[in-house]
Amino acid sequence: MIELMLGMILILILVAGTIQFMVVAFAHAGLDGNLRGEVGLLALSPQAFQDTPRYIQTWDPGADGQRLTADDQAKLTSSRTLAVIANDSIVQPTDWNFLNALSKGCSLQQIDQSAAPEANLGFVKKTQALSVSVSDVAQNLFYASDTIIVKEEVWLPILNGLY
Residue 12 has φ and ψ, to the nearest 5°, of -60, -45
Question: CA 143: distance to chain centroid?
Answer: 26
pLDDT digits (tens, 9 = 90+) for 16-46: 999 999 999 999 999 999 999 998 888 887 7
CA atoms within 13 A of residue 108's CA, in its CB half-sphere: 17
Please return the burial class of 6, using the count of CB atoms within 10 Å of its CB with bins 0-12, 13-18 and 19+.
exposed
Rounded to an integer, the average pLDDT of 121-137 is: 89
Please tell me the predicted confidence (pLDDT) of residue 14.
92
Which letter does DSSP use for residue 51 in this model?
B
Taking the model in full, what pTM does it have?
0.62
Residues 6+ apart with CB under 8 A from 17: 138, 141, 142
Give the pLDDT confidence of 67-117 residue by residue, as tens digits: 888 888 888 776 666 667 667 777 777 776 665 555 554 455 666 666 666
- The larger pLDDT score, comparing residue 106 to residue 154, is at 154
Considering only residues 133 and 155, tell me which one the structure prediction assigns the higher pLDDT: 133
Q: What's the sign of the alpha-carbon dihedral 4, 6, 11, 12?
A: positive
DSSP state of 75: E
- The CA-atom distances, in angstroms, between 71 and each of 5, 61, 62, 68, 98 are 40, 7, 5, 8, 45
Q: How far apart are CA 36 and CA 39, in angstroms?
A: 5
- 3-class DSSP state for residue 81? helix
Looking at residue 27, its pLDDT comes to: 95
